[in-house]
Amino acid sequence: MYYEPEEFVLSGLPKLLKGFDSLDAVFATYNSVHGYHDGLVHVYNSRQGLRITVQSGCQPCHKEGNKILRYAMVSGNISLGMRVYDKLQAIGDEAQSLVEAKVMSNGFQADTPIFGVVYAGYTSFQHSFQFAKSLRSINHDSKVVILTCDCDLERKSLILDAAVASGTIDDYIVTFMCGGNIGMKMILNGLIDFWG
Ligand SMILES: [Zn+2]
């Protein structure tokens, strides 16, 4: 089962990160994290050991594309829908690849566990999902969660429930706002508060 962002911050995150005294947190999204720029986040926690990096694609919302996609679905124009979907997916995948390259150049320390928060939305879902799994395998103690939107949730839930059950990711969180910008921000702020 999944968390909603508020729930994750209150109960999922403290459970997942209990007992860590150092953490390399990375927020990776081909969209953006609301209110945060790309790069190192300045944290002023009294407790040491927390590093937070945001790696975003700063993808603008593809409002036009989404509008056409919705129109195609409503009017039953399957071929138009497929064309637009393929185009949006190609744009999403490309943005995701750039984000992954930036994350991997972060310089993770072998002895510091990673806390990865990866946004895997509607476009580029598979790509982002594979990346989240690979991030978790970098360090033994690492934790990785996926934030996704509720578009096509039935299909994504099957995949994500199986991934949690098999331990390839730790949790997933569903936001009802496409793009995940606000959800990512809530988790990031929640992490800072939790760390203390
Ligand atoms: Zn969505």
| Pick from 191, 61, 6: nearest CA to 117 | 191
Count CB neighbours of 155 within 10 A: 10
Predicted local distance difference test score (pLDDT) of residue 60:
56
pLDDT in tens, the chain (196 residues): 899 999 999 999 999 999 999 999 999 998 899 999 999 999 999 999 999 999 998 665 566 677 777 888 888 888 888 888 888 888 888 888 888 888 888 888 888 999 999 999 877 899 999 999 999 888 889 999 999 998 889 999 999 999 999 999 999 999 998 889 999 999 999 999 999 9
Structure tokens at 78: 């399957």
Predicted local distance difference test score (pLDDT) of residue 69:
78
Structure tokens at 13: 């995150």
Residues within 5 A (CB) of ion ligand 1: 122, 149, 151, 178
Between the CA of 120 and the centroid of ligand 1 the distance, in Å, is 9
Between the CA of 179 and the centroid of ligand 1 the distance, in Å, is 6
Predicted local distance difference test score (pLDDT) of residue 2:
94
Q: Which domain holds residue 112?
A: 5-195
Between the CA of 2 and the centroid of ligand 1 the distance, in Å, is 16
Angle subtended at Cα 71 by Cα 70 and Cα 76, rounded to the nearest 5 degrees: 100
Could you tell me where the DSSP H helices lie in the chain?
5-7, 13-17, 63-75, 78-104, 125-136, 153-165, 181-195
Distance between CA 16 and CA 12 in Å, rounded? Answer: 6
The CATH code of the domain that includes 49 is 3.40.50
Between the CA of 153 and the centroid of ligand 1 the distance, in Å, is 9
Predicted local distance difference test score (pLDDT) of residue 94:
85
DSSP structure class, residue 82:
H
Between the CA of 177 and the centroid of ligand 1 the distance, in Å, is 7
Predicted local distance difference test score (pLDDT) of residue 10:
97
> Do 149 and 176 contact (CB within 8 A), yes or no?
yes
Number of domains in the chain: 1
Predicted local distance difference test score (pLDDT) of residue 59:
61
Predicted local distance difference test score (pLDDT) of residue 74:
86
Between the CA of 149 and the centroid of ligand 1 the distance, in Å, is 5
